[in-house]
Amino acid sequence: MEQLQSIDGFTTPLPDNRKVAREIVEAEIFVRQSDSQLFRATLSDLSVSGFKMNSYTELDGKKPVYIRLPGIQTLSATIKWSDHEDYGCAFKDDLHPAVLQHLVNKLREFG
């Protein structure tokens, strides 16, 4: 069964069989893993359940990542997939939809 999302009263199919819709953003964020210093990465999309980022620093897929986003505490996530310098990550705990919208607005404002 095809999963649907509702945007402004219109129902559209989610791309790539995703469970939740992703918001396209382009913003620099700070990331770290347990044994590393903070480094910069580029966030390219964000959802209540996770995000995609691009990082020139190689990440260990077996270790959690911690990201800093404007106005909220550091968030923990696990790497679900990687493709060269792109990483798809799932948050340890889903974001509330209102928090997601606030973050998207802030990130677009800074971008």
* Per-residue pLDDT band at 10 (split at 50, 70, 90): very low
Report the mean per-residue pLDDT for the chain: 84
- Main-chain phi, psi angles of 107, to 5 degrees: -65, -40
Q: Which residues contact 59 (CB under 8 A, 6 or more apart)?
A: 31, 33, 65, 79, 82, 87
pLDDT tens for residues 17-62? 556 788 999 999 999 998 889 999 999 999 999 999 999 999 999 9
Q: Can you state the percent helix, strand and coil of the chain, rounding each to 5?
A: 15, 45, 40
Q: Side-chain half-sphere of 31: how many Cα atoms within 13 Å?
A: 26
- State mean pLDDT over 62-81: 93
- Residue 15's pLDDT is what? 53
**Parallel/antiparallel/unpaired status of strands 23-33 and 39-46:** antiparallel
Tell whether the model's pLDDT for residue 1 goes beyond 80: no
* Per-residue pLDDT band at 91 (split at 50, 70, 90): very high
